[in-house]
Amino acid sequence: MRTPRIAVVDYGAGNLKSVAKALARSELDPVVTGDPAVVRDCAGVVLPGVGAFRDAAESLRAARLDEAVARAIADARPYLGLCFGLQLLFDVGEEHGVTKGFGVIAGRVTRFGEKDESGAPLRVPHIGWNEVVFQGSHPMLERLPERDVFYFVHSYRGEPEDPDVVVGRTDYGGSFASAVAGESLFAVQFHPEKSQRAGKRLLDAYRYWVQGS
């Protein structure tokens, strides 16, 4: 079977090479690109990222990469969002003011509070290993364990209006959506490229999804 070519969307984020290497280890053919035409020609699209919501959204729009990503999702070419690749799917993000996201998932991206549910101080950003409990139905979930441990680095989290889009939850100061999904998208708040064996399991599942097997 032909190795699927995957667009790793380049909008100036700093972890693109590590994401590309992780995809290659899962027998995918990643191409790091900031060209919307290349994104449109690939079998799948991965949007990773570190940094600020506003800067990421503005960079993607300036390069018209937001349109290319939206077209990939509309054309049912499997989209995998990593960290900002999850957050940018939402209507708006609240980092450094309110910024419009892609509007694929109804809801907002908000900052963790200063205290947890018990009133104890909560350290922000959320950095380190934490458990994700998967739920619901999606082709990716068919090849993933019910729960696994991944590496997180973030101060903001997505809050979807529709609970049915949530396919993974994590506890940090309370339960939050650490994975969301739709018919042609799957997005996670954590970093598979930094998550060792658990990350490879997730990227292997993505390969099977792209291949349709």
Q: Which residues constitute the domain of residue 174?
A: 5-211
* Segment 144-161, tens digit of pLDDT: 999 999 999 999 999 999
In whole angstroms, what is the distance from residue 163 CA to residue 150 CA? Answer: 22
For residue 118, name the pLDDT band (cuts at 50, 70, 90). confident
The two beta strands, 175-182 and 166-171, are: antiparallel
Look at the block and give the residue holding tokens 């999702």. Answer: 73
What's the number of domains the chain is made of?
A: 1
pLDDT above 90: residue 3: no
Phi, psi of 76 (to 5 degrees): 65, 35
Mean pLDDT, residues 62-68 taken together: 93
pLDDT above 70: residue 14: no
pLDDT at 1: 56
Supply the DSSP symbol for 115: B
- CATH assignment of the domain containing 76: 3.40.50.880
Which amino acids are annotated catalytic? 83, 191, 193
For residue 52, name the pLDDT band (cuts at 50, 70, 90). confident
Distances in Å between the Cα of 1 and the Cα atoms of 7, 76, 106 are 19, 20, 37
**Nearest CA among 11, 20, 6 for reference residue 66:** 11
Question: Could you give the dihedral angle defined by the CA atoms of residues 9, 11, 15 and 17, in that order, rounded to the nearest 10 degrees?
Answer: 50
* Cβ-based burial of 170 (10 A; exposed 0-12, middle 13-18, buried ≥19): buried
Q: Is there a cis peptide before residue 48, judged by omega within 30 degrees of 0?
A: no
Look at the block and give the residue holding tokens 């939402």. Answer: 90
Helices (H), 28-115: 36-41, 53-62, 65-74, 84-87
| % the chain with pLDDT above 70 | 98
pLDDT above 90: residue 213: no
Query: How does the average pLDDT of the chain come out, rounded?
Result: 94
pTM, rounded to two decimals: 0.95
For residue 134, name the pLDDT band (cuts at 50, 70, 90). very high
pLDDT at 95: 87
In whole angstroms, what is the distance from residue 30 CA to residue 21 CA? Answer: 8
Mean pLDDT, residues 133-143 taken together: 97
